[in-house]
Structures are given as structure tokens and as C-alpha cells.
Amino acid sequence: MAARIHIALRNYLVVTAGYWAFTITDGAIRMLVVLYFHQLGYSPFEVAMLFLFYEFFGIVTNLVGGWLGARIGLNRTMHIGMLLQIAALSMLTLPDAWLGVPYVMFAQALSGIAKDLNKMSAKASVKAIAGEGGDTRLFKWVALLTGSKNALKGGGFFVGAGLLQMVGFRGALLVLAAGLGVVLLLTWLMLPSGVGRMKGKPKFTQVFSNTPAINWLSAARFFLFGSRDVWFVVALPVFLADVLHWDFLRVGGFLALWVIGYGLVQAVAPRLIRRLHQGRGPGGDTARLTALMLLAAPAGIALALHGGWDPTRVLIAGLVAFGVLFAINSALHSYLILAYSDADKVAMNVGFYYMANAGGRLAGTVLSGWVYQTQGLEGCLWWSAAFVAMAWLLSLPLPARPASA
């Protein structure tokens, strides 16, 4: 028994280390593209368009990636994601004359595919690696993986900006590609083959789950992440720069610190709700309660701004509250998708679930620009509150206790 736990922990740490390394490159390349192409004279709309395919192909990747992982193994899909990220980083090292919008969008599409393949593979692997450790171990491990990822993505913003300043755009890309190549080799040597692979060859139509709990949770996930991005992705940084007159470094640093803090809260989410669930993992009742708590955050910020309160203090305090509650909701969802899944179907279920996640991000990103332009930041916050309310409604059918637990 002790030997099995030791092996499971070792494999979990290898998967987590690979996920960490990839996440740093993901945050860094986003910051590099924004800063460098803004410096080249790209308009804000053109810079935003560079990430359109990044988000869109996340939807496609999660739909196909879970099916692929179930057929060939999650370790292989994770390594394919790393190879695609290395290719995307390398593509951007060409001279500036080659770096037109279509070309960079294609490179970002590869990066988006790579990111979601890697994320799906790492999170689904936790279910297989955790083995018979029960729902408590599963919740702790997936919360730590998810939370540390978000903290490191914020750190990746700093890494990208720092490398850009020290070694330039192309030097930064080469450093990131070389580092990820080393991690790819190490994880390939250390991980067992066939993690998460189904015994039979699943049909592609099986990616659409026939488990009601997974379908309801995926729909709730769509609106949960839409509620964040509808005001965080475009509206908030533009408001901070144009209305509060913050410089780019201050805006970027503030958002990076928020992402890091949000990730840290995700990592300790099991401790925050331990009193509610002694000796077992949470269920649908916890998801409904935390969604209601989250609903108060965007609505409260919107009301405070409408009432003429100091916007700087309102947004800082409101972001802290929103970040803590959103992180707990996200960690709960990440646990429940694994807890609701059978071990041999976890890759496809996680892929389907993160397809909904990517769809919510895409919808939130598009709405963030349109709603801010037509209704301002307050309008974005009310849209955010409406999305959280939808996530709560869609959580009502979730079982109070996962069947697999």
C-alpha cells in the first residue's frame, strides 16, 4: 500500500512539474506578444485579434483531445502539447517582416491547442494517478495542481516581460522553447505509458457525455468562466488605463498579482471548506452555495461604482473578493468533474468539460469588448452577475455527493 502511494505521489509530482513548466511559457508568450506587437505599432484591436484563434481552438482541442487521450494515453497528449508549444514559440522567432496578423494568429492557434492539450492531460491524469486514495486526496491534488497553475501563469507574465527586457523578443522565445524541450524529455522518461488510456478504442461520438451530472457541470462551467472574462479580459485593463490613468506596467503588474493570488487561493481551497465536509470531498450542494456567494461580488462592485464610490478602492477590494470566491468555485468544479467521472472515461469527460470552459472564455472575451464599448464597466459587471446566476441555476441538478465517491 505504501509503495503504491509513493509511486502515485511520484507520478503526480512529475505531471505537476511538467504542467508548471508549460504554464510559465503560456503566461510568458501572452505577455511577449502583447508587449512586442504593441511596440511594433499594432492597434489594440489587432493585438486582441491575435488571441482569437488561441481561444477558439481551445474549444476544438478540448473536444478532440479527451477522445485522443483516451485512445493513446494522457502522457502522449501532454507531450504532443509541449511539442506544439515549442513549435509556436519557434515560429515567432522569424524576422518582423514575416510577422503579419494571419501568421501570428496561426502561431497563437498552435499555442492554444498546445495549452488545452496540456491542461486536459495533466488534470485528467490526476484521476488515474490518485488511484484508491479517495475523494479527499483527489480534491487536494487537483486543487493544488489547478491553483499552482494559475499562480505560475501570473508569474509567467513577469518572466515574459523580464526576458523581453533582458534578451529581446526572439531571445526570450528561444529560452522558453529550450527550457520546455528539456522538461519534455524528462517527463517522457519518467512517466509510465498509457496513463488514462481506455482498454477499448472509444468512438468519437462518446466524447459527448451521457452522464447528466457531467453535462450540467459543464454548462455551469461555461457561465462561470464567462462571468470572469466578460469584465476581466478587456474591460478592466482598458478602464484602468483610460479612466484611472494607470501606466501599462502598473496595469500588467496588478493583473498578474491578481492571477497569482487567485491561483494560491485555488491551491488551498480544500482547507477553506474543510469544516463543511469533514472527511470527504465536496459535492453539488457546495457548488450551489459558493456560486451564490460569488454572485454578490460583481453585483456589489457595480452598485458601488454606480453610487459614486472611489473606483480605485472599489476595484481593488472587489477584485480581491471576486478572486477568492471565483477561485473556490473553480477549484470545486475541477474536483467535481473528476469525481463524477469513471476512471476509464475521465479523459473524454475532462475534454468535454474543458471544451465548455474554453467556450465560456471565448464568449466572455468577445462580450467584454462589446459590452464595455456600449455599456461601460458597470454593464460588464452586471453581465458577470447574470452569468454567475446562470451557473448557479445550472448547478441545481448536481448530485450532493459524487457517485464515484
| 104 or 55, higher pLDDT | 104
Query: Is the separation of the CB atoms in 344 and 196 below 8 Å?
Result: no
pLDDT band at 306 (very low <50, low <70, confident <90, very high): very high
CA quadruple 108, 110, 116, 118: dihedral positive or negative?
negative
Q: What is the pLDDT of residues 194-228, one digit of tens each?
A: 554 545 555 545 555 567 888 899 999 999 999 99
What ranges do the domains of the chain cover?
2-395
- Asked whether the predicted pLDDT for residue 2 surpasses 60, the reply is no
Of the candidate CATH numbers 1.20.1250.20, 3.90.1150.10, 3.30.70.20, 3.30.70.3280, the domain formed by 2-395 belongs to 1.20.1250.20
Span 252-272, average pLDDT: 78
CA angle 21–158–315, rounded 5-degree value: 115
Residue 275's region, left for phi above 0, alpha for psi from -120 to 50, else beta, is alpha
* Average per-residue pLDDT for the chain: 79
Span 295-323, average pLDDT: 94
CB neighbours of 296 closer than 8 A, spacing ≥ 6? none
pLDDT for 404 equals 47
Query: Is the separation of the CB atoms in 137 and 130 below 8 Å?
Result: yes
Q: What is the pLDDT of residues 174-188, one digit of tens each?
A: 999 999 999 888 888
Query: Is the separation of the CB atoms in 335 and 282 below 8 Å?
Result: yes
CA dihedral 44, 45, 47, 51 (to 10 degrees): 140
pLDDT for 128 equals 60
Q: What is the pLDDT of residues 328-376, one digit of tens each?
A: 998 888 888 877 776 556 666 777 787 888 889 888 877 887 888 889 8
**Smallest Cα–Cα separation from 404: which of 346, 329, 334?**
346
pLDDT for 211 equals 72
Helix-strand-coil percent breakdown of the chain, rounded to 5? 85, 0, 15
What percent of the chain has pLDDT above 70?
75
pLDDT band at 390 (very low <50, low <70, confident <90, very high): very high
**Smallest Cα–Cα separation from 326: which of 336, 318, 315?**
318
pLDDT for 391 equals 96
Among the residue ranges 13-22, 256-265, 276-285, the one predicted with the least confidence is 276-285
Query: Is the separation of the CB atoms in 302 and 378 below 8 Å?
Result: yes
Enter the pTM of the model: 0.71
Query: Is the separation of the CB atoms in 332 and 272 below 8 Å?
Result: no
pLDDT for 386 equals 97
Question: What does 274-293 look like in DSSP terms, one character per residue?
Answer: GGGSTTS---HHHHHHHHHH
